Amino acid sequence: MADRTLRETDAEVAKFIDEENRREFESMRLIASENYASAAVMEATGSCLTNKYSEGYAHKRYYEGQQIIDQVEELAISRLKKLFGRTAAAGGEDDLHVNVQPYSGGPANLAVYLAFCKPGDVIMGLGLPAGGHLTHGHSVSITGRFFKSVPYGVRRDTHRIDMDEVRKLAQEHRPKLLWAGTTAYPRTLDFKAFRAIADEVGAIFAADIAHIAGLVAAGEHPSPIGIADVVTSTTHKTFRGPRGGMILCKKVHAAAIDKAVFPGLQGGPHNHTTAGIAVAAKEALGESFPSYAKAIVENAKELAQALIDKGFAVTTGGTDNHLMLIDMTSKGIAGKPAAQALDRAHIVANYNAVPFDPRKPFDPSGIRIGTPSVTSRGMGKAEMRMLAGWIDRVVTSASNESVIAKVRGEVKELCSTFPAPGIRM
Ligand SMILES: *Cc1c(COP(=O)(O)O)cnc(C)c1O
């Protein structure tokens, strides 16, 4: 029993994994938060490290048998310090503390609240409808229910974050914590401007780079390291590691952050994930990662321009990063039916609100498209032009299943010539 494979012991789950493998191979995956983790990352996360309990931190654990786990965690931390330390505006690796135990991006952010805030404190972040994340104070999130959330937005004319509004709101409401971080925002964040505002009002400044960590590591987006008090991230978006979270902070905050993660919020860390993060950090330190990150942004710019050329309304007129938001209503279709038709053509994106969207959140005007996954497959500008053509054909014939079937065939054919990291067909 013990040594039998998944296929032998559980044909149902094995079949689902086969089917998801195929789906991920045969489609253009454009969900901006997704990627293809490497086979090496997946091998580490699928290892015996999942068996071990190790509450605490290296050399200060509550269980014995940590000879190996301590080394795994220390290796992940030292690689991340090296990787992000070299992007620092000040202080470098020497003023960087890293915690790799948060279970994911959401829990990493909760640890920041626990470290710096009391229930009822004022906090500020970009509102969800403007491209912010749930955990930056949205009303349905614990962060909007346990804290007094004052969201800032984007300008009506440019759809860009309005730093004058951020400053005005901060001076009026005196937040304890100021977030800079986005989930559906195509432009560069000015971390120095946020720092200046946080200093004016005595707030802790937290940067959440969940989406852009890979771009930051490679110098494709300005780094908040050495500027923000604390930086949180997922490890599975542009960073291309396993599903996980991490916190990088200035050394003065090390004890508060570590205590908030454990024992404040979590029990034992997911050591198999920690190993996967170490592998991803090594990959990000490697020779080819900077050109990967550069290609993500180049592909996004190319795709945005190709869509604009076809008459699509790309918000802010383009992108600086890995994603774009498109208001589909000018093409006579809403975001949700557009995303559903695209999915039938094996072009997988998500429906998304656009700034000042007059439609409801569950049936918004836009779609969000990102290039991290297709870039991991080695696709480039020529493929982005083809993709724009397919998107246009599908959304202008969203109820014509024969057009969709034709595009699906072309998409599958293209995908068959671009191997996907970690996917075995
Ligand atoms: C994705 C994301 C998160 C949450 O990450 P999970 O791993 O899904 O919990 C947090 N912040 C931002 C800005 C994100 O985009």
pLDDT band at 424 (very low <50, low <70, confident <90, very high): confident
Sign of CA dihedral 185, 357, 195, 101: negative
Put residue 240 in one of left, alpha, beta given phi > 0 → left and psi -120 to 50 → alpha: left
Token pair of 321 as six digits = 């990063």
What pLDDT shows up at residue 239?
A: 98
Q: What would the mean pLDDT of 35-59 be, rounded to a whole number?
A: 98
pLDDT band at 3 (very low <50, low <70, confident <90, very high): confident
How many Å lie between the centroid of ligand 1 and the Cα of residue 244? 10
pLDDT band at 425 (very low <50, low <70, confident <90, very high): confident
Token pair of 278 as six digits = 């170490």
Q: Quick check: 422 pLDDT over 90? A: yes
Among 219, 229, 206, 204, residue whose Cα is nearest residue 96: 229
pTM here is: 0.97
What pLDDT shows up at residue 90?
A: 82
Give yes or no for residue 321 CB within 6 A of ligand 1. Answer: no
Give yes or no for residue 335 CB within 6 A of ligand 1. Answer: no
How many Å lie between the centroid of ligand 1 and the Cα of residue 364? 21
Rounded Cα–Cα distance for residues 362 and 73 (Å):
40
Give yes or no for residue 144 CB within 6 A of ligand 1. Answer: no
How many Å lie between the centroid of ligand 1 and the Cα of residue 237? 9
**Catalytic residue list:** 53, 55, 208, 234, 237, 243
At 231, give phi and psi (nearest 5°). Answer: -125, 125
Rounded Cα–Cα distance for residues 111 and 375 (Å):
32
Taking only the tens place, the pLDDT of each residue in 192-246 is 999 999 999 999 999 999 999 999 999 999 999 999 999 999 999 999 999 999 9
Give yes or no for residue 115 CB within 6 A of ligand 1. Answer: no
What pLDDT shows up at residue 89?
A: 86
pLDDT band at 1 (very low <50, low <70, confident <90, very high): low
Give yes or no for residue 210 CB within 6 A of ligand 1. Answer: yes
Residue nearest atom 4 of ligand 1, based on CA coordinates: 105
The label of the residue with tokens 């093409």 reads: 331
Rounded Cα–Cα distance for residues 159 and 161 (Å):
7
**In 3-state terms, what secondary structure has residue 60?**
strand
CB atoms within 10 A of CB 92: 16
CA terminus-to-terminus distance, the chain: 27
Atom number of ligand 1 nearest to Cα 183: 15
Rounded Cα–Cα distance for residues 21 and 283 (Å):
22
Q: What is the largest CA-CA distance in the chain?
A: 65
What pLDDT shows up at residue 403?
A: 98
How many Å lie between the centroid of ligand 1 and the Cα of residue 410? 33
Taking only the tens place, the pLDDT of each residue in 367-394 is 999 999 999 999 999 999 999 999 999 9
Atom number of ligand 1 nearest to Cα 109: 10
What pLDDT shows up at residue 221?
A: 98
What pLDDT shows up at residue 414?
A: 98
Atom number of ligand 1 nearest to Cα 104: 7
Pairing of strands 122-124, 148-149: parallel
Q: What would the mean pLDDT of 126-141 be, rounded to a whole number?
A: 97
